[in-house]
């Protein structure tokens, strides 16, 4: 198993890509802290981790709050004795319900909430995890950005700016932490079929929802949307020793986007 004996924290681990990462890491031998603000869904994710034969822990954590982040890391180390892997996955377009948010109508409050969740949270979690990784002489940090950081599909300037900031932070941390044997890499998911889309298709029939997802998928050269498990596989590569000479890398997992889909 690729993560035998490792301890991982996955923020936003209750649903979607985060849950898929937790489950795959557990199958590969890791003990996993599922950090999320949704404790009900986090407990369901924990049941899946345990069903996969892994050991897990649920910690309630709002990654924008430094005291909660400190508790998340301290609780993990107290339970499992160490911390090897951090996946900074928590993020969302807060309150947008998938609708574009044009610059002229974007409020300062909405900007602050989205940037805090998607960028400040990565900073706070990484800052708290790094001392433990330095003490171990080993660490893997995987930051989940977005393809929108370099190729926005629709106007969400606060979200895309924050996700671009995650890339800059990834490069900086990789350079700073490399001498301590701490690896820092990022994933840019493209259109992944996660609960993010639930509100967008709410009220549609099953046939209409499938047509909507098929339309999105056709924008990619591979002709389909991705699945959370495909992000989890990329995270496993970065979190394991398969990436033993890779740091400061950004991997699009996007079905070929932003390349244009060919029309035949």
Q: Across residues 173-180, what is the average pLDDT?
A: 98
Looking at residue 199, what is its pLDDT? 72
Instruction: Tell how far CA 258 is from the center of its chain.
Output: 20
Residue-wise pLDDT for 218-258, tens only, equals: 999 999 999 999 999 999 999 999 999 999 999 999 999 99
180 is catalytic: no
Phi–psi pair at 54, nearest 5 degrees: -100, 170
The band of 97, judged by pLDDT with boundaries at 50, 70 and 90, is low
| Least trusted range by pLDDT, from 105-119, 163-177, 208-222, 235-249 | 208-222
The band of 8, judged by pLDDT with boundaries at 50, 70 and 90, is very high
pLDDT over 60 at 158, yes or no: yes
Residues 244, 181: contact at Cβ < 8 Å? no
Phi–psi pair at 197, nearest 5 degrees: -85, -5
Looking at residue 2, what is its pLDDT? 98
R_g of the chain computed on alpha carbons: 18
Looking at residue 98, what is its pLDDT? 58
Distance, CA of 144 to CA of 170 (rounded, Å):
10
Domains along the sequence of the chain with CATH: 7-192+227-253 (3.40.50.720)
Name the nearest CA neighbour of 170 among 190, 185, 159: 185
C-alpha distances in Å from residue 224, one per residue of 5, 143, 173, 192, 255: 36, 24, 33, 9, 7
Looking at residue 52, what is its pLDDT? 84
User: pLDDT above 70 covers what percent of the chain?
Assistant: 97
Residue-wise pLDDT for 17-49, tens only, equals: 999 999 999 999 999 999 999 999 999 999 999
Full-model pTM: 0.95
Catalytic residue among 159, 171, 180, 245: 159
State whether residue 104 is helix, strand or coil. Answer: helix
The string of DSSP letters for 31-74 reads EEEEEES-HHHHHHHHHHHHHTT--EEEEE--TT-HHHHHHHHH
Average pLDDT, the chain: 94
pLDDT over 90 at 200, yes or no: no
C-alpha distances in Å from residue 73, one per residue of 34, 43, 66, 132, 181: 11, 18, 11, 9, 19
Instruction: Return all residues near 121 (Cβ < 8 A) that are at least 6 apart.
Output: 11, 63, 64, 69, 88, 90, 91
Looking at residue 263, what is its pLDDT? 64
Looking at residue 53, what is its pLDDT? 87
């Amino acid at each position: 198993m690729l993560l035998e004996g490792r301890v991982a924290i996955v923020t936003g681990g209750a649903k979607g890509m985060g849950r898929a990462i937790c489950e795959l890491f557990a199958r590969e031998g890791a003990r996993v802290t599922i950090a999320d603000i949704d404790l009900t869904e986090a407990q369901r994710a924990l049941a899946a981790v345990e069903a996969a034969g892994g050991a897990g822990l649920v910690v309630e954590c709002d990654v924008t709050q430094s005291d909660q982040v400190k508790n998340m890391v301290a609780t993990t180390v107290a339970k499992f004795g160490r911390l090897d892997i951090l996946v900074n996955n928590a993020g969302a377009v807060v309150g947008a319900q998938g609708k574009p948010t044009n610059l002229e109508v974007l409020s300062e409050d909405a900007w602050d909430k989205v940037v805090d969740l998607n960028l400040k949270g990565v900073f706070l979690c990484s800052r708290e995890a790094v001392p433990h990784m330095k003490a171990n002489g080993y660490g893997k940090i995987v930051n989940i950005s977005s393809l929108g950081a370099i190729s926005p599909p629709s106007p969400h300037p606060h979200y895309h700016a924050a996700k671009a900031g995650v890339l800059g932070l990834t490069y900086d941390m990789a350079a700073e932490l490399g001498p301590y044997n701490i690896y820092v890499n990022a994933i840019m998911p493209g259109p992944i079929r996660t609960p993010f889309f639930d509100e967008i298709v709410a009220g549609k029939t099953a046939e209409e929802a499938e047509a909507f997802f098929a339309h999105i998928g056709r924008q990619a050269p591979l002709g389909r949307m991705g699945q959370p498990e495909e992000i989890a596989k990329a995270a496993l590569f970065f979190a394991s020793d398969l990436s033993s000479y890779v740091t400061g890398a950004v991997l699009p997992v996007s079905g070929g986007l932003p390349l244009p889909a060919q029309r035949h």
